[in-house]
Structure 1
Amino acid sequence: MKSIPSLVAAGAALAVLVAVPAAAQQQLRLAHYASTSSTTHAAAEHFKEEVEQRTDGEITVSIHPAHELGDDPSQVRGVRLGTIDMAVIGNPFFTAVIPELNALDLPFLFESPEHAYRVLDGEIGETIHGWFQEEGMQVLGNWEIGFRNITNSERPIVEPSDLEGLAIRTTPNPAHIKAFETWGANPTPMSFNEVYLALETGAVDGQENPVVLIHAVRFHEVQEHMSLTRHAYTAAYLVMNRAKFDGLTEEQRQILLEAGQNAGQFERDLVAERESKSLEAMKAEGLQVEENPNREAFMAAAKDVTRAAYVEEHGSELLDRIDAAR
């Protein structure tokens, strides 16, 4: 007959054996801001599929779109605290935590998508990812929102003066707010999930976002005009709670990083593929599109002013590195 201590030891060993599969099984919640018809949701599904296949189901991912788990600032807090495992959030909403990131939202900073990708995917991007780690977040992939354009319900926008007096929803990013103030508008920061109703009720006259996103969330239904200003590029990041990430095996961490990067490239390709189709579809539904606004005038009015404000607070090192990547 086994002694009491040996029985206890055997039971403990059995408990460990039983616990191993349970500990290896991980269900991760992934939150994002956009609708299920968006490129972001398509990329999230791409990420989910790759992770679940490559981990043989040890890691499963549940996707929570359209601010289901809270607005963007809430999702940033949730990821940092660990109440949300992962989220896809636009760069402007991280600037409250990492103010240096305001640089990426400066008007006319990036001359092309390729310029933005060289910055985000290269050594500068590695520096930025380090800032996220210091704030309790692991970047799994550089995703995309894209180049922003202005819509409104009042009039065509060709020159900056056409924005005079219009209430335009912006992100809370200081660079976005400063630019629209410089152009004579009344910038009105608000959460993305509040924008459609604000446009529909006339609480704001317009907003600014990329073509594909505007179409996906149906903003054109409550706007009359779009102007293709492409005045700023917005990156998005797939981020994960750092402690949660560090608690995975090395192999699992590598899979998440590779799947996050692959999904980011998938979204970039999808944005490029959908842009012209989205534009034509919105025109067919009655949206009046100004395809050749005076971008030089918009640039002249806002680029130097917003850049100087950033340099005064954060210095020019990051901007110099971004310029060198042109």
Structure 2
Amino acid sequence: MTPITRRAALGTLAAAAMATDAQAQAATLKMASATVNDVQHEWLRRYDAALREKLGGRVTGEIYPASQLGAIPRMVEGLLLGTIESFVTPTSFVVPVDPRMQVFDAPGLFRSPEHLQRVITDPEVRARSLALLEPRGVKGIGIFYNSPVVVLSRRPIRTLADFRGQKIRTFASPLQTRPMEHLGATAVPMALSEVMPALQSGAIDGLLAGIPVLSALRYFDVAKAVTEIHPAIVVSTFLVNKRWFDRQPAEVRRVMTEEGERIDKDLYAWTTNAIQEANSAWTAGGGELIRLAPEEQERMMRELRTLGEGILASSAPVKAEYDLLLRAAERLA
């Protein structure tokens, strides 16, 4: 048996100490989402892979899609309290945290997905947008294109008159609830995890969402008609509890920030393709894609933009934020 030298023993102890220290320093990053197999889930997959590659285990990512950590309001609470380190969501669902977040839902603000991408990747816009929730203890890491808004309904919506009397699930934002009311529908804010049973039972008649979510979760098994109203484009954001983030070493914070920005830009082409595939999957599943007549679409957008500007003007901080975003959107048109 080979004797253990003093040097070898010290080396073994040092290696063990280093391993223990590295293990103690490793931070767990739970990443929550209400959706699955869509752009938000893909963002998390790419971010997790990037952190593993760049940080070598100093941050351990755990992805929890499909509301595994609770309904959206509970995940927002967890993010604020720090029981969930991070959460990816449409900006609409953090409007209760700070009403200024509703500016991204303004009807007619973004003329196309390409226009939206130019605006939210603009360095000045991006920095300001990601900093909005910091006073509430939440740091923005990513903000990215999700999908245009469509409406799914059990009773097809082929004209504006078809909205009347329908109970439509919306995001938790006045810029979704008030437009539905303007069109004669009853707006029902509801977390995504509650929508399918509500639609099946008839508690609601339809919902506002993006087509990738509807196809991925097979909503065509319950309702067939999707009307591509596109009053606004869903913007999603990846948020991290600021206390957790600030405790991380400088190198970890730098990598987390830089990789979020990179993925925001790189994911646009994937998202565009995913929407096309979701449309195909919807019709392959027996669903129908409907568009309003051009004159009705134009009338709806004109009325909803006026309505939206009125809603945003009712709060001075919200209006100020909207005016800044609007100027950027005009500059980057």
TM-score for both structures, normalised by structure 2: 0.87
- 1:305 counterpart residue number: 307
Equivalent residue for 1:133? 134
Worse-matched range after superposition: 177-186 or 286-295: 286-295
Shift of 1:18: 7.5
Partners in 2 of 1:217 and 1:143 — Cα distance? 21
Q: Which residue matches 2:165?
A: 165
> CA-atom RMSD, angstroms?
2.1
SS in 2 for 1:110: coil
Query: Hey, what does 1:191 align to over in structure 2?
Result: 191
For residues 186-237 of structure 1, what are the alpha-carbon distances to aligned partners after superposition, in whole Å with 9 as ceiling and x for unaligned? 1111111111111122211111111222111212221121111111112111
State the match for 1:3 in structure 2: none
Query: Residues 151 and 225 of structure 1 are in contact (CA less than 8 Å); yes or no, is this contact kept in structure 2?
Result: yes
Aligned equivalents of 2:71 and 2:269: distance in 1? 26
Q: How many angstroms apart in 2 are the aligned matches of 1:85 and 1:316? A: 30
Alignment of 1:180-259 (within 5 A): 180-259=180-259
- Give the number of equivalent residue pairs: 312
Q: Please name the residue that 2:69 is paired with.
A: 69
**Partner SS state of residue 314, structure 2:** helix
> Matched residue of 1:168: which SS?
strand
- TM-score of the superposition, structure 1-length normalised? 0.89
SS in 2 for 1:322: helix
1:103 matches 2:90: no
Q: Match of 1:62, SS? A: strand
Q: How does 1:39-78 map to 2 (within 5 A)?
A: 39-78=39-78
Please state whether the residue corresponding to 1:109 is helix, strand or coil: coil
Q: Distance in 2 between matches of 1:280 and 1:130?
A: 37
Q: Distance in 1 between matches of 2:87 and 2:121?
A: 19
3-state SS of 2:146 partner: strand
Q: Which residue of 2 aligns with 1:6?
A: none
Cα distance in 1 for partners of 2:199, 2:183 equals: 20
Structure 2 SS opposite 1:316: helix
Contact 1:149-1:210 within 8 A present in 2 as well: yes
Letter in structure 1 aligned against 2:280: E
Pair 1:322 & 2:325 matched:
yes
Q: Distance in 2 between matches of 1:42 and 1:169?
A: 25
- Judge conservation of contact 1:183–1:301 (CA < 8 Å) in 2: no
Residue 297 (structure 2) aligned to one of 284, 295, 298: 295
Q: Secondary structure at the match of 1:258?
A: helix
Q: How far did 1:40 drift? A: 1.8
Q: How many Å apart are 1:48 and its aligned residue?
A: 0.7
Instruction: Give the C-alpha shift of residue 291 in structure 1.
Output: 3.3
Query: What corresponds to 1:8 in structure 2?
Result: none
SS in structure 1 at match of 2:165: coil
Aligned to 1:118: 118
The CA distance in 2 between the partners of 1:172 and 1:229, in whole Å, is 19
* SS of residue in 2 equivalent to 1:268: helix
User: Letter of the aligned partner of 1:317 in structure 2?
Assistant: A
Q: Percent same amino acid among aligned pairs?
A: 24
Determine the C-alpha separation between the residues in 1 that align with 2:18 and 2:224: 64
Contact 1:88 1:238 in 2 (8 A): yes
